[in-house]
């Protein structure tokens, strides 16, 4: 059954947890979709995971459309959310609607996600008015890494916590259908989840959010280097890939691969005529 804004809303009402994971290409999307996740996110994290940038700032609309369209072709049942990249909506309400429309038309997303709180209420309202579902994203918003001065937990003091609550409520009132909370203290994320009628999706925001999201290279240990505190490794796929590649190289060099069963045959009588 296709996951929709309505089915995901029902899940919140029934206290049933939903699961979201990132994907950036057809093959991975197909695996994620067939595994039964409720939502797939084409995150602008693809800047790091797929394109090798050090942050998300260089990601373009063209990058997002290219990857979103590939993921859409591999997705049947999951609800597909695609990120609006840096400077595709911050510049004006008009840009926000035009670019959200492109992610739906060309990227075949089911919803768009944008980072930021109350300051983007006009943008969210305008996109929603164009019949495009919007997922908000508050807390640690990686497109603002330079303004934040690094990747840090958000909402820890009273003022910052009150601002996050106000942001979440403002986004809901503007028509957002869900809100991602990233790196928010668990008790604050619980309070916000209880205050909102729309589902919350946590990443580093504790277990009381209505859904969880992780970057797939993190949960499958495919991405080296820094691993955030909130990541749990569920399978060592990176290690398995390295092992597989080692065997492929060894067997190719030794001549064990390709074996008889990997080769196409021809009658000896035909070959003899060629010498």
Interface residue with ligand KIV among 78, 213, 219, 220 (CB under 6 A) is: 213
- Per CB under 6 A, contacts with ligand KIV among 79-118 are 83
Cβ 82 to ligand KIV, closest distance in Å? 10
Cβ 230 to ligand KIV, closest distance in Å? 10
The residue among 225 and 255 lying less far from ligand KIV, judged by its C-beta, is 225
Is 112 within 8 Å of 132 (Cβ atoms)? yes
DSSP symbol at 115: E
The residue among 50 and 98 lying less far from ligand KIV, judged by its C-beta, is 50
DSSP symbol at 116: B
Q: Which stretch binds ligand KIV (CB under 6 A): 29-37, 42-50, 155-163, 258-266?
A: 42-50
Interface residue with ligand KIV among 24, 40, 44, 189 (CB under 6 A) is: 44
Q: Is 182 a catalytic residue?
A: yes
210 contributes a contact to ligand KIV by CB under 6 A: no
43 contributes a contact to ligand KIV by CB under 6 A: yes
Interface residue with ligand KIV among 215, 220, 221, 222 (CB under 6 A) is: 215
Task: Give the β-pairing of 211-214 and 200-203.
Answer: parallel
- Per CB under 6 A, contacts with ligand KIV among 184-203 are 203
Cβ 179 to ligand KIV, closest distance in Å? 11
Interface residue with ligand KIV among 3, 18, 22, 193 (CB under 6 A) is: 22
Is 130 within 8 Å of 157 (Cβ atoms)? no
Is 136 within 8 Å of 171 (Cβ atoms)? yes
Question: Cα(201)–Cα(213) distance, rounded to whole angstroms?
Answer: 6
**Residue with the two structure tokens 């010498």:** 275
Cβ 21 to ligand KIV, closest distance in Å? 9
Calculate Rg over the CA atoms of the chain. Answer: 22
Q: Looking at 182, 239, 243, 251, which residue is catalytic?
A: 182
211 contributes a contact to ligand KIV by CB under 6 A: no
Give the x-and-dash track for 148-187 against ligand KIV (CB under 6 A): --------------------------------x-x-----
Catalytic positions are 182
């Amino acid at each position: 059954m296709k996951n929709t804004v309505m089915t995901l809303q029902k899940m919140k009402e029934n206290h049933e947890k939903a699961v979201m994971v990132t994907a950036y290409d057809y093959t991975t999307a197909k695996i994620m979709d067939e595994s039964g996740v409720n939502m797939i996110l084409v995150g602008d994290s693809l800047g790091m995971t797929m394109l090798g940038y050090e942050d998300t700032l260089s990601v373009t609309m063209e990058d997002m459309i290219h990857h979103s369209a590939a993921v859409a072709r591999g997705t049947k049942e999951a609800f597909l959310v695609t990120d609006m990249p840096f400077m595709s909506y911050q510049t004006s309400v008009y840009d926000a609607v035009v670019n959200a429309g492109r992610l739906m038309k060309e990227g075949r997303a089911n919803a768009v996600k944008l980072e930021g709180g109350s300051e983007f209420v006009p943008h969210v309202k305008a996109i929603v008015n164009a019949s495009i579902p919007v997922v908000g994203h508050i807390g640690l918003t990686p497109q603002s890494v330079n303004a934040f001065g690094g990747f840090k937990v958000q909402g820890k003091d009273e003022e910052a916590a009150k601002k996050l609550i106000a942001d979440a409520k403002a986004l809901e009132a503007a028509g957002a259908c869900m809100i991602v909370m990233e790196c928010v203290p668990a008790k604050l994320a619980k309070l916000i989840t209880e205050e909102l009628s729309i589902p919350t999706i946590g990443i580093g925001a504790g277990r009381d959010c209505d859904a969880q999201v992780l970057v797939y290279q993190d949960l499958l240990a495919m991405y080296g280097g820094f691993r955030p505190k909130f990541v749990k490794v569920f399978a060592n796929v990176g290690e398995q890939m390295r092992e597989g590649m080692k065997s492929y190289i060894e067997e190719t060099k030794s001549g064990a691969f390709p074996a008889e069963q990997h080769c196409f045959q021809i009658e000896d009588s035909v070959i003899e005529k060629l010498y």
